[in-house]
Structure 1
């Protein structure tokens, strides 16, 4: 943090380094909150070109954030905020949920950069899947590591619709602050007033003279399902899988593709032929104002950039909450209770603290509610994220918790080979 004097008062400048920046949804939101970008890094060249188009004065680098030739984290030691939207597929409910065994997982790698950058705060966002029971041990490892590094972590599932965006879009957000700031951190308050798809897009639907825009807006009287941007490997310019398309249809929207233009004077009634959204409409649904951001690339690429973004209003709200904590605006009265209620994973803790746990001890002494069948499922889930070794002694099975499978920067990790072979396909 630096300070500058303007109009006889001191203004604080808070800086941010953003990894996996995408096309700039989180970047714009943090900028609006008051952060100044020292660096933004993005793997996808088209998304990086979008960033450069909109913020030509920023230091924007293209490449794998874990590649030391792209950036040296040590050069940014002491930045106010380290932020990013690391890849979602390792945790997505729509995927295989391989977690640490997925070559694209960068969540734990990002945590390790805290040890080098030593930011005043950390902010990472990901899909709702990371909040599910499947990843309780993964989350516990993240919390433990951040506490080892001297930070107090906070998790919360935020819904974009509660922060001025006309879609549900749940995102699991991690914020970690140093103890002197942590007691002043409070999550942004949710807004009770929610925007509907109809009121958000009616003017765009009527822009080319469509006579049924008002009737369509009445049909689209709810928030949208989550926009699905897809990836280079899967997903195109449509609004998601079958269930998502069905939800869009209930709002009077054909989700099978993206239109080049709004419906015109001769376009039929939405009850007969529902209209498709345009890129401009998708951009607004994701929380961008019409004239504040331009996107490069072809239609499918633009849709992917928008659909995969962290909505700027949500990033803005979290960013403002972090700055309020920096400024020690007000103490969070529930801070102590939040720390006391922080849920640990009892199975992970038992295996971590008591190497070689038997099923009997784990079930009857440590976790009475854990049945043999549930234990087997938990051990199976754990094995995706940690090495689990089993031994048999006198007819009893002993479980041994081994090393973490995830990528934290290891030179010999399997991720390197994957990236070398699939660089152009990863998004």
Structure 2
């Protein structure tokens, strides 16, 4: 493969794509399920190899054809881990995180980059995260997680994203998470030109009142009937910024709108809040109808954040900076001591034995709660013994590429609603 080549899965409409390109990567392939997002990718990068369909469909692409690519990257579906959802994790038909990690064993990329919502960083998924790190270590990769906030990388929005990086040890010792470059303006300064382009007389007053950064752009799911800027709490935050969040406008306010008018955002404005369009290098054309465009934008990884992370990977490849002790640069992300005790056990363990092996203090109620969380992502065998019920870790429930897995049937059933 060419130097700095990337295969991007679940590419969406191109937020991560553009950011990685600006960091120096060249796309060998981009795969996306949503037809509208794939059309947007083709509109902006007609020479790329862009394939539309289920990324796990072996008839769509063969990962072995892209062996030794420089980077395997993707923004795999968020709902399995979303705080706003049911947090089904490995049992959600949209969960492709563990599957994407397993791709590394086939493709052997020089680096892996996966991003997802903040929910994946929560205690509920501590064992899931440890499973991922363990698998990557088995494959010969060092890995680390970090929660990145979009506003810290030049984006006028509160948008935390949980990012996984995996590198081979010889590159990993040169890796540094990107340095922060916070956005110093407000929604008013970010959107002033777009709000003023139709000569709205109230733009100055509006911009002065829109004096904070934006809440997280949400509402990009096909399960919603139309485009709006989120649930009640988000709408209230937008209202405080002088924005009507009950929908998205076709055009900016004009000279006929009074000074005190409360405008809706256009999709161009939403894209600006996501990090597109601030300069020519971030220009991007979204195709389709208004709601379709909004969903593409709302589901994206902000390009400046992707660029910052991609640049850190490139710096590691080029051995820029100073090499480090890998143990000194890993973020302290909570992992599940019960899972680790189960994984390391050679036989079944009772509650008392598990708690002792885990080195933690908890009562039976807390133990049952944590075991229930584990059982959502892992197969836990239980046996009744004279000294109590014993537990054994018997497998991972998630989809990792199995020919026979309930994910296929659920995915086929839900496909029209997956975004």
Give the TM-score normalised by structure 2. 0.96
> Which of 339, 352, 366 is 1:360 aligned to?
352
**CA deviation string 1:201-256 (max 9, x = no partner):** 01111111111111111111111011014211236210011111111111111111
Give the drift of 1:342. Answer: 6.5
User: Partner residue of 1:321?
Assistant: 312
SS in 2 for 1:424: helix
User: Partner residue of 1:387?
Assistant: 379
Task: Answer whether contact 1:161 1:195 (CA < 8 A) is retained.
Answer: no
Alignment pair present for 1:230 and 2:220: yes
Worse-matched range after superposition: 208-217 or 180-189 = 208-217
**Gap change, CA 1:363 and 1:235, over 3 Å in 2:** farther
User: Partner residue of 1:138?
Assistant: 128
Mark the runs of 5 or more structure 1 residues left unpaired by the alignment.
3-12
Worse-matched range after superposition: 305-314 or 216-225 = 216-225
> Which of 258, 267, 270 is 1:279 aligned to?
267
SS in 2 for 1:400: strand
User: Partner residue of 2:277?
Assistant: 289
User: Partner residue of 2:336?
Assistant: 345
Worse-matched range after superposition: 208-217 or 343-352 = 343-352
Task: Answer whether contact 2:191 2:269 (CA < 8 A) is retained.
Answer: yes
Task: Answer whether contact 1:229 1:305 (CA < 8 A) is retained.
Answer: no
**CA deviation string 1:163-195 (max 9, x = no partner):** 110001100000100011000000001124433
Following the alignment from structure 1 to structure 2, what is the Cα–Cα distance between the partners of residues 370 and 219? 49
User: Partner residue of 1:401?
Assistant: 393
SS in 1 for 2:381: strand
Root mean square deviation, CA, Å: 1.6
Equivalent residue runs for 1:142-221 within 5 Å:
142-221=132-211
User: Partner residue of 2:413?
Assistant: 421
Give the drift of 1:395. Answer: 5.4
SS in 2 for 1:78: coil
**Gap change, CA 1:332 and 1:276, over 3 Å in 2:** farther
Task: Answer whether contact 2:144 2:331 (CA < 8 A) is retained.
Answer: no
> Which of 8, 11, 20 is 2:10 aligned to?
20
Worse-matched range after superposition: 328-337 or 290-299 = 328-337
User: Partner residue of 2:84?
Assistant: 94
**CA deviation string 1:256-287 (max 9, x = no partner):** 100111111231344xx421000110111111
Give the drift of 1:333. Answer: 4.2
Worse-matched range after superposition: 320-329 or 399-408 = 399-408
Alignment pair present for 1:122 and 2:108: no
Following the alignment from structure 2 to structure 1, what is the Cα–Cα distance between the partners of residues 403 and 131? 21
Equivalent residue runs for 1:47-126 within 5 Å:
47-126=37-116
Give the drift of 1:340. Answer: 9.4
Give the drift of 1:334. Answer: 6.2
> Which of 226, 231, 246 is 1:241 aligned to?
231
Following the alignment from structure 1 to structure 2, what is the Cα–Cα distance between the partners of residues 236 and 79? 39
Worse-matched range after superposition: 216-225 or 234-243 = 234-243
**Gap change, CA 1:235 and 1:174, over 3 Å in 2:** farther
**Gap change, CA 1:366 and 1:422, over 3 Å in 2:** closer
**Gap change, CA 1:210 and 1:339, over 3 Å in 2:** closer
SS in 2 for 1:176: strand
Mark the runs of 5 or more structure 2 residues left unpaired by the alignment.
none
SS in 1 for 2:105: helix
Give the TM-score normalised by structure 1. 0.94
Task: Answer whether contact 2:151 2:182 (CA < 8 A) is retained.
Answer: no
> Which of 367, 383, 397 is 1:375 aligned to?
367
**CA deviation string 1:5-38 (max 9, x = no partner):** xxxxxxxx31000000000000000000000000
Task: Answer whether contact 1:350 1:357 (CA < 8 A) is retained.
Answer: no
**Gap change, CA 1:63 and 1:183, over 3 Å in 2:** same
Task: Answer whether contact 1:161 1:167 (CA < 8 A) is retained.
Answer: yes
User: Partner residue of 1:6?
Assistant: none
Worse-matched range after superposition: 335-344 or 400-409 = 335-344
